[in-house]
Amino acid sequence: MLQPPTEGEFQTLELLWQHLHNVARAQGYAVSTLRSNMTHNQIEIGCDRSGTPNANKSPSKTVTSRKLDCPFRLYARKYAKSTTWTLKVKNPEQSHDATENIMAHPAFRKFNEQETSQISQMSESLLMPRQIKAQLCSQRESDRPVILKDIYNQVTKIKKDKLQSRRPIDSLIDTLKKENFVWSSARDAEGYIPSLFFTHPLAIKLLHGFPHVIPMDCIYKTNKYKMRLFHIVGFGSTNKPFSGAFCLMKNETEPSYTWELNQYIETSSTTPILSTLKLLLLTGIWP
């Protein structure tokens, strides 16, 4: 069982956490913040296996949870007229045994500031998580392992932070505006965006220069929203393909294709000659 840390005063919050992590790690446990109110400098600290699994969640596959409803509780507070942090033990009881491998606790696998920056840069460069892991492993001097799941979680956190509480579609549109893309969107009766067309000015110039052969196709399973990605491709003088335009589509219906191809015609000022087995494309534009 975890012997609780010594109650007392700490000059800074960093020193308090350092003391807690050292005591817990030496005994095969880990602690984390459960609740905090930094306006009043109050923190409730518990075992990282506190809490109960979400009974209302219905995952698509069987998953396990680290939560064991451990009752271990500490309380840290910095009083109004004090310059130090006070640590108190609220409940010293534990509901589980110590962990044999301390690296099983995420608290001891956290990436440092340099690694976090590297993960962000490599993620923006479209490196896969397994490639990021290989790069981090080659740079670490310690035997601390790099867990693939931690990289996935860190990449997800980076993407969430970049959204800044915006919807993904709003973030995408802001990026298109910032990078000077030509774009347009359709809206349904409920105000949702079922289609988003976008292309780059350089791609428009290439389409003007090489308008003769323009293949078009839909790509599936490209995002968690299950939207189709309609890809318009052009071919240059050396028969090398280039991306002419893209369109995110909610479905492959006649109105969707009609809207998308009209955006392409208005943007590129060219009229494609379609030859496809998909009658929706043919009848949607030229009935």
The answer on 116 and 104 residing in a single domain is no
At residue 277 the predicted structure's pLDDT band, cuts being 50, 70 and 90, is very low
Same structural domain, 55 and 137: no
Whole-angstrom Cα distance, residue 205 to residue 214? 14
Q: Which residues sit opposite 36 in a β-bridge?
A: 43
Same-domain check for residues 213 and 115 = no
The pLDDT of residue 21 is above 60: yes
CA distance 29 to 104: 10
* Local confidence band at 60 (pLDDT 50, 70, 90 cut-offs): low
CA neighbor of 269 nearest in space, from 236, 244, 249? 244
Domain final residue pick, 165, 190, 206: 165
Which residue has tokens 């009083």? 79
CA 259 → CA 1, 153, 231, 255, 256, distances in Å?
Answer: 65, 37, 14, 6, 5
What average pLDDT is seen over the chain? Answer: 84
Q: Is the pLDDT of residue 228 over 50?
A: yes
pLDDT at 142 over 80: no
Indicate whether 173 and 133 sit together in one domain. Answer: no
Which candidate, 193, 205, 202, 199, places its Cα nearest to that of 176?
199
183 and 273 inside one domain: yes
Phi, psi of 235 (to 5 degrees): -125, 130
**Residue 195 CA to chain centroid, in angstroms?**
23
Residue 280 in this model has a pLDDT that exceeds 70:
no
> What is the reported pLDDT for 286?
46
Closest CA to 197 of 149, 139, 257: 257
Give the tens place of pLDDT for each residue, 82-136.
899 999 999 998 888 888 787 778 878 888 889 999 999 999 898 999 999 999 9
215 in the same domain as 146: no
Mean pLDDT of 255-262: 87
Cα 119 from Cα 11, distance rounded (Å): 33
Note the pLDDT of residue 269: 73
- Its domain, for residue 60, covers 1-108
Domain boundary among 108, 125, 141: 108
Two tokens, residue 252: 């492959």
Instruction: Say if residue 66 is in the same domain as residue 93.
Output: yes
Give the confidence band of 237 by pLDDT, cuts at 50, 70, 90: confident
118 and 90 together in one domain: no
Q: Which residue among 71, 91, 108 closes a domain?
A: 108
Q: How far apart are CA 47 and CA 190, in angstroms?
A: 45
Pair of tokens at residue 182: 């030509």
Match 């740079």 to its residue by tokens.
139
Residues 204 and 175 in one domain: yes
As a whole-number percent, the residues of the chain with pLDDT over 90 amount to 38
Question: Is the domain of 204 the same as that of 236?
Answer: yes
CA–CA gap between residue 71 and residue 92 (Å, rounded): 8
Is pLDDT above 70 for 202? yes
Residue 59 pLDDT greater than 60, yes or no:
no
Q: Model confidence at 56, in pLDDT bands (50, 70, 90)?
A: low
200 shares a domain with 174: yes
| 158 shares a domain with 126 | yes
**285 against 241, higher pLDDT:** 241
pLDDT for 220 equals: 74
pLDDT at 118: 94
The pLDDT value recorded for residue 181 is 95
Whether pLDDT at 266 is above 90? no
d(CA 216, CA 21): 57
In total, how many domains does the chain have? 3
